[in-house]
Amino acid sequence: MQENREKCMELANRIYDLDGEVYKCVGSALGRTFTGSRENTVQNLCMLMLTKPDGHLLRSELALISNMARTIKDKEAKDRMIAEYDNILEEIEKLPDGFGKVDIVDLSRAELNPTTRKKLSGDDHLVICISRTQGSAGNDIGFELADELHINYYDVEIFNQVLKRLEAEKGSVNDAETESFADFDKYKKRNFSLKTWFREFNRYHGLPRQDAVFFNMSDLICSLARSEDCVIMGRCADAILTNNHIPHISLFISAPFSLRIQRLMASKNMEFRQAARFLRQMDRQHQKYYDFFTGGRWGRPENYDLCINSANYGIRETIDLIERMIDEKRK
């Protein structure tokens, strides 16, 4: 502790001196960072170093000095002061509490995030889950991304076809194709007799039909992600894979409402009001589906690894951005 305090005193003095020197070189109208006496300043800096809760204040003071140092015209003087600054920063990092920096990391999730691992292990696959809002070009982006990476692409149409065939093959029901966002409404009234209800109940091992389809889908998604590199669109795939501890990247692609409307008007020949109504309806359905099956909240940044605003990039640049993000780890 005593040793620690001495080290802090030394660093505080060096910071005070650096500030003075930088000020002499820059002659800034803003004056020195520390306007008080050496004694008071050193005392204050020491306290910031010794009490981690306010570490960010120390950092701000240092940033202010280095910001000024970078404007020094004389190259030699500038290099010298930046070097001293870097050195001080390093020493502070070495203090027991540094800047009071505590990492933020969800270990169980980060472990499943291929871009945070040094390398994908031999058994792992590059699985990119993409959720998106209607009209944000998320599907175009996912399809082209898969094509460029030479990996498989799965969207709702493909899942339904595959499920239908798997079911048919097992001699089981083949009505999986009716499960889609557009139809999804957990609370919609249905025309059904007690007889059909019993038939449905038995068929799906006691699960409501909708849930049974979801569980089939989940199985399919898990086995795909365990066996191949792929892009999976929607289907809460990110939540399903997280629950099953299968590595994947989760992306959310969206764009401002007004731009999604414009795009729908152009791509589906819709009128403004029709497009707006359609979008609102789709957003509600996406949200209902996601919230119901994941318990999370659809479209909140903390549900995904990364959210991309496709309107600020365009389709081509969004794909480039994603490729840049994952590239290094695949090499």
Q: Under rule CB under 8 A, which residues in 124-153 are in contact with its own copies?
A: 135-137, 139-140, 143, 146-147, 150, 152-153
Q: Which residues pair with 192 in a beta bridge?
A: none
Residue 307 engages its own copies in binding (rule: CB under 8 A) = yes
Residue 259 engages its own copies in binding (rule: CB under 8 A) = yes
Q: Closer CB to its own copies, residue 209 or residue 263?
A: 263
Among 66, 244, 274, 294, binds its own copies (CB under 8 A): 66
What is the longest distance spanned by two Cα atoms in the chain? 90
Q: Closer CB to its own copies, residue 136 or residue 216?
A: 136
Helix, strand, coil content of the chain in percent (nearest 5): 65, 5, 30
Residue 50 engages its own copies in binding (rule: CB under 8 A) = no
265, 271 Cβ separation under 8 angstroms: yes
CB of 232 to its own copies, least distance (A): 12
- Which of 2-10, 29-37, 179-187, 199-207 is the region at the interface with its own copies (rule: CB under 8 A)? 29-37
Q: Closer CB to its own copies, residue 8 or residue 308?
A: 308
Half-sphere exposure of 218 (CA within 13 A, CB side): 16
Among 1, 2, 27, 53, binds its own copies (CB under 8 A): 53
CA distance 39 to 43: 6
Exposure string (b/e) for 11-49, b if CB count within 10 Å is 16 or more?
bbebbbebbebbbebbeeeeebbbeeeeeebbebbbebb
Q: Please name which of 113, 132, 287 lies closest in space to residue 141, comparing C-alpha atoms.
A: 132
- Which of 122-130, 205-213, 284-292, 300-308 is the region at the interface with its own copies (rule: CB under 8 A)? 300-308
Q: Closer CB to its own copies, residue 8 or residue 255?
A: 255
